[in-house]
Structure 1
């Protein structure tokens, strides 16, 4: 809700509008440049919207890291990202083994949240959300943990269910990518797959003319993540088994038109790492008729090109990836496992075209927060990203 209530000056007070205009002109050159009078309700409201932009921040407590994104609503529909932060706190490493959040881990999490909150104290009129995903979902003491954090930091902590995470991601991606990349894509079916440290979310964004499944009917969250795969004895075989078992519902969708190929959208940190490295790796591999498109906000390619590039990464050790691609050790620990998940999903879905947007859950959470506060749908907003690595928050610093 706007800080100011705007209305026309009553006819009985003819000088009120002029006096207010003069007062504002003295205080703000911007007003003098753009507006001639405040008697126009629309101009008056627009002026105060521009002079009092809202700041929004979303903190995502993932299994692999804790992240924060900060955005500024500079007009009624333009949301500009100001800052991105990341803290290397792997809740999943402990929770997926012990089944709970220990007191030591809780204190680290609390310190991380408080540290990130200190980075946004400079903003006035801040709207902020704190959300947790797979690792917190899996912890036996998650309700107690959420209540303790809220009582200390003053913000509620929402633990997303798998279905809620699917829906948030699907809504965010559909609002971020142009329709030509999702709903208007020539292929009959478009799927979204988001891989985190603890879970894999798959949604059907476009079902084409399949009579068995409408858009949005298929949303599934599976307890497969890059951190969980590291703990498996034979991750390749276990992955195939789990994918086959958990995605049985997909068989009905895919068998309706067995000749159809699909469009797959991948999100998550490992997907973005692949997209960032792909131009370097594939420079000498692309065929002349390559379908790869390197846009500012996403990367699009033929599935065959993904498979060729993925094999190159799988042939390298962690040390080789650190040296050649400048990846951090915590990235190389899970990168090849994530690529194996992508390959298994793409094969299952008979993927023909792949799209990787530079967009993920934290951006979806930010858009969702703005949507709730402004009471407008996500698709009304244009998200303007910033590029480069996020700022690092060091726990204990």
Structure 2
């Protein structure tokens, strides 16, 4: 009996220990939680050239009132600069809410590989964050503030649900990392500077070759770039003689060929548009013809400009990728892209006209009849 009672007590003790250990394990994930009131949560990080060091890091930290606190340090590395900010801060710095990295143009022209690699390797930075280039005074842009607007954040200007339009390019950290390591595609990064009545003014797009900025696209060229990439929602195109149209749909078809001379690609773009403004009496056929000629010319001018920069921001290499050997793949940017022959043809379909002008004219006519 004593033996059975001893075994029973041992089993009871073991079960008690198991329960206690389980409870300890459940609680172990909470021991290092931090009070949110004792944390700074930056949403924007600026990376510029320091006056005495390699990097100048500026963090923008919004509060509930809509105001923004600025923390600023210089160091030989990004990690060290952030560490110095943490050292002098009365609260801990957590980068989990970082949504936008702004890189000074001077830094972008020297190369952003280290910056993108840092963002990807940092455990507390989301790779879904956005990247942009400051084309202007770095300090003025990073310290620029408008009247407190707690409902607006800096990264809203890049959100397709908020301020973004096809006149702006957009690239995320993971896309930048992917493109800088890609054999067949380069990246296009939006450029901005501080606004006057708004937080930012968009300047166009920085064209990158590998990790270095080699040129720019203006806003009209950026719209064509986005259109080629299939990002056209909300895009408005101005045609000659006070005519504007809104892009409703775009169909893009590529025909590729690889001959002894090298690769060639013919792209047909069909646009379905709605007229938003046009002079009275101007027919659909005239608008379609004008748009076809204008856009075909502008597209091919933009393509020639991109080729002169030796940057495959349009991702033509991705289209040819299935046809290339491993050797050709590695040589695409240096050997085959410079030999690429590319031509773009545009076709336009006007879906409907704006009827309110006609209705307004009818109302005027009725008014005249009543006066008589």
Larger Rg belongs to: 2
Which is bigger in relative contact order (C-alpha 8 A, separation at least 6)? 1
- Report the TM-score range of the alignment, normalised by the length of the smaller protein: under 0.3
Higher relative strand content: 2
Q: Which has the higher helix share?
A: 1
